[in-house]
């Protein structure tokens, strides 16, 4: 499971030749840390106009789009602007061979033509509370990592309950600066977000992978959505009775353009920064993580490209999957190029050497910090093979094989079926949840494409990872069958997880033993 990361930060890019700056900052800290410098460089507004809990501010016009992207409110009637690649999955979900919105674009000519997107949300920050002192009171340097995590989880749940009790808000606790600072973040999440317009791929993905993660950009990377609420203004699931959201703040659009030396900044949800990582982490990214991602996603994309090339049905089904895969494939290529170009590893090593000199100049610091870098280095050295295997399994199995991904969704139902018949209290609920996921899954699934991806990825896993790290079920398949191709042919021809009809038949009469014997479920169970 991928845990959502909620970071409302802002990035300041001062477009000036002589005076430039950059960085990522937490909004509540802007007033004390950044405001003077920002004003020197042309910022005209106050810190309260960026972030305030007492009146509308810029933060109220910047929702998180679908838990993964940033977006901006640009009208009083809920119109939202985001990237084309952020809206891509939803454009694809409405596309058919007859109505190919991916290739042709889509524009709603009226509110009634806007397209609903089940599961898509727009999440607005209400406030951020620094709760570091609450955590300092329950944490200590002598705690084990297990005890520390348990204490953090327990207090986080308590803080979340306190903050959201008797409200319609949601909340999460996140740490910054490697667990030294904790913030409680309160959000208002809207559940009805409709597609309004998107350019054709020739504009929205202009340049394709070649242009991605390269600057200056040349693509028209935008799409429009609209946020809707219940008639009372509260979040609500899709309904024809819903009305456009009235944002607390929205950005007026200027047609004046920009010129050199203008102040520019971005407010949004960029994820995280690795600015403070050690040289050992950089080396791991440069020599293990990025090369693996480039190779394994490249294999997957070669299969998808070949299958999509001459079949419009498969092209539409796999367009979003290809886009998702290629995004960080290209990111890894670009990051490694920049590591070399800007000598990032050498910079980190020089910073660590300066730290060593600072430590060694004082006996008290030697006692406290003398072995910290050597311990970090030892940790990364010892885990290198394991990290390689871990990433291979993630990229070749979890992130590639849709059949296994669907079987993983059956685990909760499997746990319920493992109970005595008279204690299967959540059986219907689990079946309904799986059925809903299954129906969405098969809308964008092609068994032959999935099998060819599985064959390419698992071959790489077997060739490149030491046998001691290979999953049991893979070793079993290699031993039992003449070739791994024969094993995969058997799995795909005998599992129920490649057919909506077979799965629906199983759901009509769910049986634990049948599930345990299913080769697709066995593969998923032993690899997870």
pLDDT at 4: 41
pLDDT at 134: 97
Q: Rounded CA gap, 490 and 97, in Å? A: 32
Helix count and strand count (H, E) for the chain: 24, 15
pLDDT at 391: 96
**3-state SS class at 236:** coil
**Residue 49 DSSP symbol:** G
Successive 10-residue mean pLDDT values, the chain, 528 residues = 43 46 81 87 91 94 95 98 96 97 98 97 97 96 94 98 97 91 97 98 90 84 98 97 98 90 88 86 98 98 97 97 95 95 97 98 96 97 96 95 97 96 94 96 98 97 94 90 91 97 96 96 91
Is 22 in contact with 39 (CB distance < 8 Å)?
no
Angle at which helix 484-494 crosses helix 472-480, to 10 degrees, equals 110
3-state helix, strand, coil in the chain (%, to 5): 55, 15, 35
Beta bridge partners of residue 264, listed in sequence order: 13
Q: Rounded CA gap, 254 and 479, in Å? A: 66
Q: Rounded CA gap, 450 and 493, in Å? A: 13
CA of 478: how far to CAs of 449, 482, 490, in Å? Answer: 22, 7, 12
DSSP letters for 242-289: -EE---S--PPPP-S---TT-EEEEEE------TT--HHHHHHIIIII
Domain boundaries, the chain: 1-70+253-273, 122-190, 279-382, 402-527
pTM for the complete prediction?
0.88
Is 396 in contact with 462 (CB distance < 8 Å)?
no
What tokens were used for 230? 């219940």
**Closest among 74, 79, 122, 81 to 250, alpha carbons compared:** 74
The dihedral formed by the CA atoms of 400, 406, 520 and 314, expressed in degrees to the nearest 10: -60
What tokens were used for 301? 């994309």
pLDDT at 168: 97
pLDDT at 419: 96
Residues whose CB falls within 8 Å of the CB of residue 311, separated by 6 or more in sequence, listed in order = none
């Amino acid at each position: 499971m991928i845990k959502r990361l909620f970071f409302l930060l802002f990035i300041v890019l001062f477009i000036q030749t002589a005076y430039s700056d950059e960085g990522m900052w937490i909004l509540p800290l802007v007033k004390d840390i950044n405001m003077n410098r920002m004003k020197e460089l042309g910022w005209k507004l106050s810190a309260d106009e960026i972030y305030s809990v007492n009146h509308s501010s810029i933060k109220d016009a910047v929702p998180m789009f679908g838990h993964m992207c940033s977006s901006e409110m640009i009208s009083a009637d809920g119109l939202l602007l985001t990237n084309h690649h952020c809206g891509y999955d939803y454009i694809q979900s409405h596309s058919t061979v007859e109505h190919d919105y991916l290739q042709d674009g889509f524009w709603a000519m009226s509110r009634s033509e806007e397209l609903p997107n089940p599961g898509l949300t727009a999440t607005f920050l209400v406030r951020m509370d620094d709760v570091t002192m609450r955590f300092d009171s329950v944490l200590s340097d002598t705690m084990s990592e297990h005890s520390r995590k348990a204490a953090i989880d327990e207090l986080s749940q308590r803080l979340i309950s306190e903050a959201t009790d008797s409200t319609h808000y949601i909340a999460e606790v996140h740490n910054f600066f490697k667990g030294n600072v904790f913030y409680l973040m309160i959000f208002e999440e809207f559940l009805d977000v409709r597609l309004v317009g998107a350019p054709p791929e020739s504009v929205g993905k202009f340049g394709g992978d070649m242009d991605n993660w390269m600057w200056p950009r040349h693509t028209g990377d935008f799409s429009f959505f609209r946020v809707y609420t219940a008639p009372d203004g509260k979040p609500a699931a899709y309904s024809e009775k819903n009305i456009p959201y009235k944002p607390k703040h929205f950005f007026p659009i200027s047609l004046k353009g920009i010129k050199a030396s203008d102040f520019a900044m971005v407010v949004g949800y960029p994820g995280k920064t690795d600015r403070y990582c050690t040289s050992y982490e950089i080396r791991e990214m440069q020599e293990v993580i990025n090369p693996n991602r480039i190779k394994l996603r490249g294999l997957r994309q070669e299969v998808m490209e070949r299958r999509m090339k001459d079949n419009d049905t498969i092209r539409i089904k796999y367009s979003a999957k290809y886009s998702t895969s290629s995004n960080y494939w290209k990111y890894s290529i670009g990051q490694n190029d920049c590591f070399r170009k800007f000598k990032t590893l050498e910079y980190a090593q020089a910073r660590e050497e300066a730290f060593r000199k600072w430590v060694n100049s004082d006996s008290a610091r030697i006692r406290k910090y003398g072995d910290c870098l050597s311990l970090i280095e030892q940790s990364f050295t010892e885990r290198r093979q394991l990290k390689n295997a871990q990433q291979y399994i993630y990229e070749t199995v979890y992130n590639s094989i849709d059949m296994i991904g669907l079987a993983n969704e059956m685990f909760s139902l499997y746990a319920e079926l493992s109970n005595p018949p008279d204690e299967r209290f959540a059986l219907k609920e689990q079946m309904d949840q799986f059925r809903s996921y299954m129906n969405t899954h098969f809308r964008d699934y092609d068994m032959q494409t999935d099998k060819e991806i599985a064959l390419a990825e698992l071959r790489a896993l077997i060739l490149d990872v030491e046998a001691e790290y290979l999953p049991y079920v893979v070793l079993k398949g290699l031993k039992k069958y003449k070739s791994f191709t024969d094993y995969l042919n058997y799995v795909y021809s005998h599992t129920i997880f490649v057919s909506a009809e077979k799965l629906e038949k199983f759901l009509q009469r769910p049986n634990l033993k049948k599930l345990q014997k299913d080769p697709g479920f066995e593969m998923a169970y032993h690899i997870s």
